[in-house]
Structure 1
Amino acid sequence: MSSEAGPVDITDASAAVPIFIGSDVYRGSSYGRWHPLAVPRVPQVMDLCRALGWLPAAQYRTSPRAKPEGLTLWHTPDYVAALQAAETDQHVSVAVKDRHNIGTTANPIFGEMFRRPATGVGGVLLAAALLRHGGVIHAPGGGTHHGFPDRANGFCYFNDPVLAVLGLKAQGCDRVAYVDIDAHHCDGVEFAFQNDPSVLLISTHEENRWPRTGALEDRGCGNVVNLPLPRGLNDDEMALIRDELILRKLAEFRPDAIVLQCGADALDEDPMSRLALSNNAHVSIALALRAASPRLMVLGGGGYNPWSVGRLWTRVWGALAGQAIPDVLPGPASAVLQRLEWTGLRARRPVAPHWLTTLKDPARGGPIRNEIRQRIAAHGRAMV
C-alpha cells in the first residue's frame, strides 16, 4: 500500500474523541549528529504515550505522506521536484542550492529530506479532513513554520502550518486562527497569510532571535498580531498574554478552527532561546484554545532538548485527551526518558532529575514586567 496521502475516509472521526497523528518516519531520521535536530522528538512522544496507555488504536492515526499535488497547494512544483531529486541523489548542484536553500548547514541533505517533511504535511492534511465535523487533533510531527514556497528555511523544508490552514479552509472553515508560541517567529506563515483577512495570525516569540522578523508593528492587513518578548519570559507573564491578548483576539475573530504551533523551544531548558517558561504554560494555552473553537489542531514545532520537548508534547496530548497526568511516571514511561541521548552541538545541560521522573515542570512564575503590559496594550484596539 502506498504511504502517500490519497482520498481521506473521515467516517470514523468523532468530535468527542481527540486523535493523535504520528509516524515512524521520524524514528531514526536525523538531520545529522551535529545538527540541533539530531535529537529524537516525535518517536519519544509516541513511546511515552504508549508506555502510559494513552494511545489506544481508536485514537491513533498513522500519518500518510502528502502527494506532490498536495504539496503544491502552496509550494512550487520546481521546489517539490528539487527536494525529491535531492533525497534520491543525496546531493544538489550549486544552482539548486542557491535557488532553493537546500544542502546548507541549516537545511542539509539527509536520507529522508523529502519523505519526512512530506509526511508532516500529510499529517496536517489528514487532520484537516478529520476536523471537518469538529474535534481535537494532536500532530506533533507538524509545526515547520519557516518554509517558503520555493525554498527551505530554518530547518523547515515544507511549511505544514500553512498547508494545515489551507486544508481547513478547503474543508469549509471560513475563518481560521493560527496561534504560534514557538520561540522563533513564524516568518513563512506570516508571508502566506499577511494579506488574508480570513486568517488571524498570533505569534509570541523572543525578540532579537532568528529570523528577526515579527515586529510589534507588523500587522499585515490587520489580522497579524506579533508579540516579540524579552528574555526570561515567565509563566505569569505568559498567562497574562494568554488572557489579555490571545483569548481576547480569538473572541473578537470567532474562528471556525484554530491551529496551535506548540514549539517547545520557549521552555527554560531549551538551548536555542532565552525564554524561561515551564511546560505548564503551554498546556494551559492548549486547553484554553480547545474551549475557544469547535476545531483545534495542535502541532509540534521547535524544541532541541530531547527531554523537555518529549515531556511537553506528551503532556499536551494527555491533557487534550483527558488523561490524568501522574505526579511520578510509572517505570515503563520513565525508562523511555532514561534511554534518551542528547547529541549535537547544543548538548550542554546536565540531565535534571525531574526530566526522568515526571511530565510536569516546576512552576516558573515571577513578576510581570511593564514592557510586556505595554506591548499587549499596543494590540488593544479591536480588529477590523
Structure 2
Amino acid sequence: MTPVLIGSEIYRGSSYGPWHPLRIPRVSTVMDLARALGWLPEGRFRASPRARAAALLAWHTPDYVAALERAEAGQAVSEEVRARHALGTTSNPVFAEMFRRPATGVGGVMLAAELLRDGGAVHVPGGGTHHAFPDRANGFCYLNDPVFAVLALRRHGARRVAYVDIDAHHCDGVEHAFAADPDTLVVSVHEEDRWPRTGALADRGVGNVFNLPVPRGFHDDDMARVRDGLILRAVAAFRPDAIVLQSGSDGVTEDPQSRMALSNNAHAGVLEGLRPLAPRLMLLGGGGYNPWSVGRCWTRLWGVLSGRAVPDRVPPEAEAVLRALRWDRRGGGRAVEPPEAWVTTLADHWRGGAPTEGVAGRLAEISGRLRAWT
C-alpha cells in the first residue's frame, strides 16, 4: 500500500486555551508543510473520521465518555466530574472541541488500521495521546488513541502488535492497557523523573513490557545505542504483525517540556530501523510543544515513510509555512524569534557526544532481561 497521511482541519481551529502548552499548531503545520514540499499529493491524504461515542466504549467507560460529551456541550464541569474524571483541570481543560478533537484522533487510528489490513504504512500525526485512562483524562489526553490503534489493528488481522514509544513522557495509559497482554509488546524510552514518574526500569507486566528511563542530556548517540540494543532487538524478537510507533517530539533539545537533548535525527533513525520489522506500521504523533520542532520532526518522518529525500533547504513555499508560526513559551509573553535553521530546514544537525552517564548501565541491565526473554 502506498503510504498515507491522515489529518483533519479540526486541529487547525482548536486549542486547549491561550495558556496551555497545546495552544500551538501541530497537525495543521505538518499538513501544510508536507503540501508545500510537494510530499502530500491528493491521493496520499485522507481526512480523519470522528469516532462515535459507542466505539469509544471498547476501552473507555460509559460514564467517562458521557461526561466528556457533556463537558463539551455545556462547556463546564461539576466538582464531582472534575474529581472523578479529571476534566476541567489545568492539564485537561474545558475547551470547545474537547470531545470532537480526541475522538477525531481515535477515528484516525481506526481508519489507519483498516487501511493497513493488507500491509503498508500510515502516519496519523493527530494520534499519540498515550496518558488517558479508561475512566479519566490524564496529561493533556482525553482519549487514549494508541490503545485503540492496537485494538483496531487486531480487529483487522494483526494478532501480535509491538508498541514503541519515544516520547519524553512515559506511556502510562498504554502500559495500563496492555501490561498483562502476551500478544502486545510495549517498549518505552522516556526521561527519568519526568511526569508522570512511572515506567521504572523494573516494570515489566507479564514480560512484554520494557521501560528504559533515561537521564537528562540523553542525545542522538545515546538513542542510536538504545535503538539498536533495545528497541530493534525487542521488536525483531517479538515478530509482530504490526508496529505502532508513538513519535512524541518533546525529547528534542528545543522543547520546553523535557531536558533531553535529541535532534529529529533520533526519531528518523528509530522509524527507519523499525520499518522492515513488520508488514504494517502505524506512525503516531504525541508530545511536542515547540511549534517549529514538532512540525519539522513529524513532517520529516512523513518523508521517511513516503520515500522523500530531505532537502538541504526547504523551498520558499515551505519556508513561508514555518515563518508564519508564532510562539511564546509561557503564554502572554514575548514571541520567540526562531533561529534560521528552524524556518529553512527540516533535518536538525546531529546532536551526539560521549555516552551520557547512566545510560550504558541501564541498557546493559535491560539487555540482560532481553536475553532471558528471547
Same fold (TM over 0.5): yes
Give the Cα–Cα distance (whole angstroms) in 2 for the partners of residues 56 and 94 of structure 1. Answer: 47
Q: Say if 2:244 is the partner of 1:259.
A: yes
Q: Tell me how far 1:344 sits from its aligned partner.
A: 5.5
Matched residue type, 2:373: M
Partner of 2:85: 100
CA-CA distance at 1:291 after TM superposition: 1.1
Runs of 5+ consecutive residues of structure 1 not aligned to the other structure:
1-14
Q: After the TM superposition, list the runs of 4 or more consecutive aligned residues in structure 1 that deviate by more than 2 angstroms.
A: 346-350
Point out where structure 2 has 5 or more consecutive residues left out of the alignment: none
1:66 paired to 2:51: yes
1:275 is aligned to: 260
Please provide the CA RMSD for this pair. Answer: 1.2
* Partner SS for 1:136: strand
The equivalent residue for 1:84 is 69
The AA in structure 2 aligned to 1:278 is S
The aligned residue for residue 19 of structure 1 is: 4
- How far, CA to CA, are the matches of 1:226 and 1:217 in structure 2? 8
Residue 302 of structure 1: aligned partner: 287
Partner of 1:383: 373
* Alignment correspondent of 1:242: 227
**Aligned-residue offset at 1:22:** 0.4
CA apart distance, 1:369: 3.4
Q: Secondary structure in 2 aligned to 1:228? A: strand
CA distance in 2, matches of 1:250, 1:382: 15
Question: In the alignment, which residue of structure 1 is the partner of 2:340?
Answer: 353
Question: Closer, same or farther in 2 for the Cα pair 1:93/1:223, shift >3 Å?
Answer: same
Aligned length: 369
Question: 1:8 — aligned with what?
Answer: none
d(CA) in 2 for partners of 1:344 and 1:26?
Answer: 20
Query: Structure 2 length normalisation: TM-score?
Result: 0.97
Q: Does the 8 Å CA contact 2:218/2:356 hold for their aligned counterparts?
A: no
Quick one: which amino acid aligns to residue 224 of structure 1?
A: V
Task: Tell me what 1:318 maps to.
Answer: 303
1:156-206: CA deviations, max 9, x gaps?
000000010011111121110000000000000000000001000000000
Q: How far 1:349 moved relative to its partner?
A: 5.5
Equivalence map 1:149-228=2 (5 Å): 149-228=134-213
Which residue is equivalent to 2:24? 39
**How many Å separate the matches in 2 of 1:358 and 1:145?**
29
Q: Give the one of 269, 288, 293 matched to 2:278.
A: 293
How many Å separate the matches in 1 of 2:360 and 2:329? 37
Distance in structure 1 (CA, Å) of the matches to 2:253 and 2:234: 27
1:243-281 deviation per Cα after TM superposition (whole angstroms, max 9, x unaligned):
011011011100000000000001010000000000011
TM superposition score normalised by structure 1 = 0.94
For residue 116 of structure 1, what is the aligned residue in structure 2?
101
Deviations 1:90-112 (A, max 9, x none): 00111111110000000000000
Q: CA deviation at 1:292?
A: 1.1
Contact kept? 1:182, 1:265, Cα under 8 Å: yes
Partner of 1:28: 13
**2:63 is paired with a residue of what secondary structure?**
helix
Q: Which stretch of the first structure deviates more once superposed, 366-375 or 72-81?
A: 366-375
In structure 1, what residue type is equivalent to 2:346?
L
1:363 to 330, 339, 350: 350
Q: Deviations over 1:297-348 (max 9, x none)?
A: 0000000000000000000001110012111011010000000011452778
Amino acid in the other structure paired with 1:308 = S
How many angstroms apart in 2 are the aligned matches of 1:163 and 1:383? 26
1:335 — aligned with what?
Answer: 320
Report deviation, 1:370.
Answer: 5.2
Equivalent of 1:134, from 119, 123, 128?
Answer: 119
Structure 1 position 376, deviation (Å):
1.3
Q: Deviations over 1:3-25 (max 9, x none)?
A: xxxxxxxxxxxx2x101000000
- Identical pairs, percent: 63
